[in-house]
Amino acid sequence: MKPEIPLQWIKNEHALQNPRSSLAQELFPPGLPQRIRELHSEIPSYGMSPLKSLPALARRLGVGGIWVKDESARFSLNSFKVLGGSYAIYKKLLQRSQLTDENLTLHDLLNLDGELRKGLGSPIFATATDGNHGTGVAWAASKMGFRSIIYVHHRTTKDRIEGIKRNGGEVVIVDGNYDDAVRQVNDDARRNGWEVISDTSWRGYEDVPKWIMQGYSTMFVETQEQFAAQGIRRPTHLFVQAGVGSLAAAAIGYYSVLFEDNVPLSVVVEPTKAACLYKSMEINDGQPHNVTGELDTIMAGLACGEPNPLAWETLYNCADFFAICPDYVAAKAMRVYGMPLPGDPFIVSGESGAVTLGALMFAMEYDGARQLREELSLNRDSQVLLINSEGNTSPEEFRSVVWEGGMPVPEEFKIHYNA
């Protein structure tokens, strides 16, 4: 059986016509991302996640710089997802209490007592997850003194389930895939009166997914401060991974608003076996489309078959390219992060966190990707931003790739470097 090629892509001609995304403008108006970052900074264990430079790898690949926003360090939770979950819970509690963010801060919610506690009632927060989003919701709810019930699908690893429980979440396992878990938690929440904190939207349910995407903007406010300290105004390119698309839409939407007249070129990267956004772009009727099946990929955080319609609106208007990669691309990048070239920092990256580095490497080194790198103008002047969206969230799966060499690159696609 012939192996899958490492990289396939589609150019988004619609975005290249540069239509404005009204949703991106609504999500990231001037001042709001900075305010959200201020709210997150009130959490006692807050600290900026590092922006790491890989200069030796950049030289080898022929680009000016590779910058990795390393979210494995976020609140000791190994993932960026808590930024969206905590902000969405905060906004939901404001809504319940009929207060504004001038009357109630995240600091207040972390120190609830007395009449304020009574006014908020006893909400139970629920969501579906492949692991990281559920852990973030459980952690944030627990810190504020509330229960959380987290639905996972039956292929979720034991390590990820234990991470949710360790951070205060009650876990329900659902037969089927991630999208089945989304449907089940929504049905059960309606019957039980729970508050759903979902990072994907549907008709009549849009506020929470918007808040989650806004919550992610803290990453990019930090990133711009860190770039400024290096004398860099902005990245020239974004490679962003996608499941339902919320992270990709937040990253690309944020930069499309901040640098409206000089937007970084962007590539949305998905697993070949869970490529709902790529399929939507392939059909190219402006609507999001689903993929079905087991969604069997090692990139568990990206194993989603149904796009977030809100994310799709932003990506269809703003993302320049959509790309898909087989699992071995992510596995290679995990090993590259873990055994860097001399002078580059060591980075612990899980399967979903690593795939964008793999996509960038094959874009620069795979002969079949020449057209892509030329159309992206990837060269010595390029400053490429990647997001390591997770660290080692499933140790057994991580070791099978990094220790045992799981998911090796097929021989015909290996890059043979000169000594």
- In the chain, what are the domains? 8-79+216-413 (3.40.50.1100), 81-203 (3.40.50.1100)
Alpha carbon distance 50, 43 (integer Å) = 17
Contact 361, 408 (CB under 8 A): no
- Per DSSP, the three-state class of 205 is strand
Strand (E) or helix (H) holding 364: helix 351-365
Q: What is the pTM of this model?
A: 0.95
pLDDT in tens, the chain (419 residues): 889 999 999 999 988 665 567 889 999 999 999 999 999 999 888 999 999 999 999 999 999 999 999 999 999 899 999 999 999 999 999 888 877 776 777 777 777 666 667 778 889 999 999 889 999 999 999 988 899 999 999 889 999 999 999 999 999 999 989 999 999 999 999 999 999 999 999 989 999 999 999 999 999 999 999 999 999 999 999 999 999 999 999 999 999 999 988 999 999 999 999 999 999 999 999 999 999 888 999 999 999 999 999 999 999 999 999 999 999 999 999 999 999 999 999 999 999 999 999 999 999 999 999 999 999 999 999 999 999 999 999 999 999 999 999 999 999 999 887 64
Q: Which are the contacts of 10, defined by CB distance < 8 A and separation ≥ 6?
A: 278, 281, 282, 321, 322, 323
Half-sphere CA count of 52, side-chain side, radius 13 A: 22
Q: For residue 218, what are the CA distances in angstroms to 251, 259, 314?
A: 10, 17, 18
- DSSP letter at 79? B
To which residue do tokens 């006893």 refer? 122
**Residue 98, token pair as written in the block:** 């009929």
The backbone torsions φ and ψ at residue 330, rounded to the nearest 5 degrees and listed phi first, read -65, -40
Question: What does the pLDDT read at residue 112?
Answer: 65
Alpha carbon distance 62, 56 (integer Å) = 10
**Residue 117, token pair as written in the block:** 């506690």
Contact 348, 391 (CB under 8 A): yes
- Per DSSP, the three-state class of 185 is helix
Active site residues: 81, 130
To which residue do tokens 């099946």 refer? 293
Strand (E) or helix (H) holding 10: strand 8-11
To which residue do tokens 């974004």 refer? 238
Contact 65, 226 (CB under 8 A): no
